[in-house]
Structure 1
Amino acid sequence: MFTHVAQPLVYAEALLQQYASLSQVLDGGALSGDFLGAVAQLSGCELTQLYLLDSKDRRLELRAEYLNGVLQPRDLADLPLNCNDEQLLQFALRQSRVVCLGALSTSLYHTGFLPPQATPWQSLLCVPLLSSRKVVEGLVLCASRRHVELQGFADSLGRLGTFVLGQLHLLQRLHWPVGNEQSVATAVPDASGFGLIGKSPAMRRTYSLISKVLNSSYTILLRGETGTGKEVVARAIHDGGPRRSRPLIVQNCAAFAENLLESELFGYRKGAFTGADRDRPGLFDAANGGTLLLDEIGDMPLPLQAKLLRVLQEGEIRPLGSNDTHKVDVRIIAATHRDLSLLVKQGRFREDLYYRLVQFPIELPALRQRGGDILDLARHFANKACTSLQRDSVRWSDAALSQLAAYAFPGNVRELKGLVERAVLLCEGHELLPEHFSLPLDAIAQDSSRHLRERLAQVERNLLIDCLRKNHGNQTLAARELGLPRRTLLYRFGRLNIKPSELNG
């Protein structure tokens, strides 16, 4: 660890003293400042900074800064808090890589996160900080106005930072109010933490489930109608978890015939079949250390299901044409719009694989169940479309928003995205109007004269019917899922004129 620093024995003794000193600090804020002071003393740099991922929404934030021997106050107007747009910092964070630069003045990297000085910064070292679970939780950065070699400090400063992270977590737990542990543990994260859009109760339940499984190795089954965003959620889970520095591989199980899908997933050896003129690794090897999303898992052929089960149970694969198996470390996320339990009863899906996949199921809500999220999503897609088309932003007319809010969107988010993108392309002015949206005429005619109260009632009516259909008409289960007393549910049936015949459609 000390072979690349001057006077290794002196440095090791100074490092040991810092460990002893930091272990005695009993305040989290003071510990962050003392840690940066220690980094400055050990590295000889004039600037040290501590960046941490916010536990609520996973943004990278500057938590403390030590400049010219002084801990800087947090309330300075020019202190950058949210550093999600800083590419150098994000590279070190996402790739879990040490960044060492010895000539900042000629570097192409943007370093606006460094405080301006009369003498420009010349040397920089950025080290990822790992928790005890080997998850990147932040960065420590040191910079100097001199040309100095900082690479040799990376290992020891990273280990010291991991120690400080552990101390910070311990102090946080010790200072939790009595009886508040449960509320902290079950707090629902903000949507922005996963890159998802929506504040409806249905989506907040989804965020809560994601937060519980994010840092585990559990197999996840994403269920939901076509177009509900299963791949988007899978990417959010991967990007927000400890495997984010490794690849996310996506494979649609319905896109290949059985023999082709097997070679895609498991790879093959030279001579395994006609045309196999070389060894080729499969997607499990490509995703090693990362995540493999198996989309439309319900369409996977039965023989391949047995091989997938072995991967889940043993963590090993055997390529085509090989007699040997080898281990892979892959987190599997499966996705489907089919009812796998029904496929099991029909003999089209292995029961043992089904129970392995439903280790942690997440049911993605249909767009009609998400209330006001429709308008937030529509605005988001419109802004992205304008950026893609390199045109000015567009306004939304009240009539266009009302039309979208009243529509049921059987194609869910995918349908909404397509409609909005087409509308932006058709819009020659600066305002989106109803005629820019190709909604079915019967839906427009049915809802164009409704007031807000009537439209909200229609949304509630669709939600209740959908929930009852999902629970096969069981009113008790539907009431429990909606968080309502059964008596209240029956009252709403009467008020919204929901008839039993509507539950079969």
Structure 2
Amino acid sequence: MFTQVPQPLVYAEALLAQFASLSRAADGAALLGDFVRGLAELSGCELTQLYLLDATHICLGMNAECLNGILQPREAASLPADYNGEQLLQFALCQNRVVSLSELSGSLHETSFLPPQATPWQSLLCVPLVNQQKSVEGLLLCASRRHIDLQGFADSLGQLGSFVLGQLHLLQRLRQPSGVTRPAPVSVPSASGYGLIGKSSAMRQTYSLISKVLHSPYTVLLRGETGTGKEVVARAIHDCGPRRSQAFIVQNCAAFPENLLESELFGYRKGAFTGADRDRAGLFDAANGGTLLLDEIGDMPLSLQAKLLRVLQEGEIRPLGSNDTYKIDVRIIAATHCDLSMLVGEGKFREDLYYRLAQFPIELPALRQREGDILDLARHFAEKACSFLQRDAVRWSDAALNHLSGYAFPGNVRELKGLVERAVLLCEGGELLAEHFSLRLAAMPADSSLNLCEHKAVLPPDNRPNLRERLEAMLEDSSLDLRECLEQVERSLLLDCLRKNDGNQTLAARELGLPRRTLLYRLGRLNINLGDFDG
């Protein structure tokens, strides 16, 4: 580290003295000021600067500057607010590369970030500052009017800068106002220890079902609306079961056309088709001994369903172009947002395969059915987003929490995760506010029938009085409990909308403000078929 600097021993002693001095800094401003002064002493440069990224890790700004041994005031009007347009700085920052130039005046590089001087700047060193998480958080810069090689200082000054970053974060935490409580690291373990987040009764029931099937070889069918976490549950079953040391492979059955999906799953032999110039193992081979998740199983072509049934019944596969079969040991987990029994009735899914897949079904609850879990999940996603962005944890305002609690989340956990990550990006301070969340308020809960009756975006105006009268009559009927009443109202709403659109599901879904897949799921859940709205 010291071989390229003049008088290595003297330099090493001076560097050690800087570490000791900076460790005693009482506040952030003093720490940064002492740091740029120390850079000037160590490098012998007339100018030293420190640039740091803001809390969002988007904007680069100057935080301290020392010119001719004098610390420059940060409020100086000559200092621009950010340096996102400076190519040299952005290159070092984004590429995590040291920039060292000894003939600056004769180069074509833009250096408007350097203060103008009568004698032009000749030498420049720019070193990225890396934090404990190995992420670039800022830059240190040294410049001189003399022609000198500053490259030899890069490693040692970079380590000093990383130390200063750690000290700065420590001082910021220690000096946080006593009235402001930092959010504790959120890790909401489930009662079962499967790593899933949620303490609601619906999730406890899910944990119980997982525990029943965890150590058995039975095929599991995961059902639920889009975004409910079917792949997460499948991975939990694999990671906590006896196959955890083997492969976990996911294949979306809707992602490939029929021929490609077959070769992807079963593999092929050389010469099986045009372009098959070698043998290729399929995903069943890759998952041998482990777990294969077949996502969106309802979209698998009928002809391929027969081959999958053979795998489930006999535990053997035959690659394309081969006459031989061989045994495999793969645990298959299937997942779908569709009602497979309805697809069986329509002739779109094999009945024998359905009963083989539904050996152990697990219905994953929608987020609106998981009382109390929304806030736990939101805090977890916010913590993960802050960790990914290398920024301090954020606090939650009561308004933001209430805002999320009152939303139906038609996209379920996936939608919540996206909303929270976007809010963290938009949050420029340390607190998440309601305005950071862009919620589609027209997407009301499926169980909130009173709101459905009043909301113009989801209910045709000519149907509102009719539905309200039916709702009132149902509420007066003491033989119906609340859930039955709500299901009947939802059923009436869907039937009325389908009749109005002559059975066109796409138009009905658009009028109701729902994705078509969600409408199909609800039609299946309520056992609504084409005959219910004919004529």
TM-score tier, shorter chain, comes to 0.5 to 0.7
Deviation at 1:495, TM superposition (A): 11
Letter in 2 for 1:438: S
Contact 2:225–2:337 (CA<8 Å) still a contact in 1? yes
Deviations 1:166-193 (A, max 9, x none): xxxxxxxxxxxxxxxxxxxxxxx94461
Which residue of structure 1 aligns with residue 250 of structure 2? Answer: 250
Which residue of structure 2 aligns with residue 198 of structure 1? Answer: 198
- Aligned equivalents of 2:486 and 2:259: distance in 1? 55
Contact 1:371–1:459 (CA<8 Å) still a contact in 2? no
The alignment's C-alpha RMSD in Å is 2.8
Q: Does 1:490 align with 2:481?
A: yes
Greater C-alpha Rg: 2
Gaps in structure 2 of 5+ consecutive residues: 1-188, 453-476, 498-535
Which residue of structure 2 aligns with residue 219 of structure 1? Answer: 219
Deviation at 1:487, TM superposition (A): 6.0
Deviation at 1:367, TM superposition (A): 0.5
Which residue of structure 1 aligns with residue 266 of structure 2? Answer: 266
SS of the aligned residue for 1:193 comes to coil
Which residue of structure 1 aligns with residue 434 of structure 2? Answer: 434
Deviation at 1:274, TM superposition (A): 1.1
Q: How does 1:185-334 map to 2 (within 5 A)?
A: 190-191=190-191, 193-334=193-334
- Aligned equivalents of 1:264 and 1:377: distance in 2? 35
SS of the aligned residue for 2:270 comes to coil
- Aligned equivalents of 1:434 and 1:267: distance in 2? 51
Which residue of structure 2 aligns with residue 78 of structure 1? Answer: none
- Aligned equivalents of 1:402 and 1:268: distance in 2? 55
Letter in 2 for 1:289: G
Deviations 1:312-367 (A, max 9, x none): 00000000010000000000000000111111111111010001000000000000
Letter in 1 for 2:353: L
Deviation at 1:440, TM superposition (A): 2.0
SS of the aligned residue for 1:379 comes to helix
Letter in 2 for 1:252: N
SS of the aligned residue for 2:222 comes to strand
Which residue of structure 2 aligns with residue 387 of structure 1? Answer: 387
SS of the aligned residue for 2:193 comes to helix
Letter in 1 for 2:291: T
Q: How does 1:82-481 map to 2 (within 5 A)?
A: 190-191=190-191, 193-442=193-442, 461=448
Specify whether residues 500 and 460 from structure 1 end up closer, same or farther in structure 2 by C-alpha distance, changes over 3 A only.
closer
- Aligned equivalents of 1:492 and 1:302: distance in 2? 36
Which residue of structure 1 aligns with residue 492 of structure 2? Answer: 501
Specify whether residues 323 and 497 from structure 1 end up closer, same or farther in structure 2 by C-alpha distance, changes over 3 A only.
closer
Letter in 2 for 1:200: S
Q: How does 1:9-28 map to 2 (within 5 A)?
A: none
- Aligned equivalents of 1:272 and 1:488: distance in 2? 64
Specify whether residues 459 and 335 from structure 1 end up closer, same or farther in structure 2 by C-alpha distance, changes over 3 A only.
closer
Deviations 1:248-298 (A, max 9, x none): 010000000111000000001111111111111000000000000000000
- Aligned equivalents of 1:214 and 1:368: distance in 2? 26
- Aligned equivalents of 1:403 and 1:441: distance in 2? 10
- Aligned equivalents of 2:479 and 2:365: distance in 1? 22
Gaps in structure 1 of 5+ consecutive residues: 1-188, 447-457, 466-485
- Aligned equivalents of 1:351 and 1:228: distance in 2? 25
Specify whether residues 194 and 391 from structure 1 end up closer, same or farther in structure 2 by C-alpha distance, changes over 3 A only.
same
- Aligned equivalents of 1:289 and 1:430: distance in 2? 47
Deviation at 1:490, TM superposition (A): 2.6
- Aligned equivalents of 2:240 and 2:248: distance in 1? 12
Contact 2:223–2:362 (CA<8 Å) still a contact in 1? yes
- Aligned equivalents of 2:422 and 2:482: distance in 1? 41
Letter in 1 for 2:217: S
- Aligned equivalents of 1:386 and 1:413: distance in 2? 18
SS of the aligned residue for 2:481 comes to helix
TM-score between the two structures when normalised by the length of structure 2 = 0.50
- Aligned equivalents of 1:372 and 1:334: distance in 2? 28
Specify whether residues 229 and 425 from structure 1 end up closer, same or farther in structure 2 by C-alpha distance, changes over 3 A only.
same
SS of the aligned residue for 1:243 comes to coil
- Aligned equivalents of 1:246 and 1:496: distance in 2? 43
Specify whether residues 441 and 297 from structure 1 end up closer, same or farther in structure 2 by C-alpha distance, changes over 3 A only.
closer
Contact 1:272–1:321 (CA<8 Å) still a contact in 2? yes
Deviation at 1:491, TM superposition (A): 6.1
Letter in 2 for 1:377: L
**% identical aligned pairs:** 80
- Aligned equivalents of 1:325 and 1:407: distance in 2? 52
Letter in 1 for 2:481: L
- Aligned equivalents of 1:229 and 1:243: distance in 2? 21
Deviation at 1:435, TM superposition (A): 0.7
Letter in 2 for 1:204: R
TM-score between the two structures when normalised by the length of structure 1 = 0.53
Letter in 1 for 2:261: L
- Aligned equivalents of 2:341 and 2:485: distance in 1? 32
- Aligned equivalents of 1:200 and 1:462: distance in 2? 22
Contact 1:298–1:349 (CA<8 Å) still a contact in 2? yes
- Aligned equivalents of 1:222 and 1:311: distance in 2? 19
- Aligned equivalents of 1:323 and 1:494: distance in 2? 58
Deviations 1:478-499 (A, max 9, x none): xxxxxxxx96853677899968
TM superposition outliers: structure 1 runs of 4+ over 4 Å:
458-463, 486-489, 491-500, 502-505
Letter in 1 for 2:302: L
How many correspondences in the alignment?
284
Specify whether residues 306 and 442 from structure 1 end up closer, same or farther in structure 2 by C-alpha distance, changes over 3 A only.
closer
Deviation at 1:501, TM superposition (A): 3.3
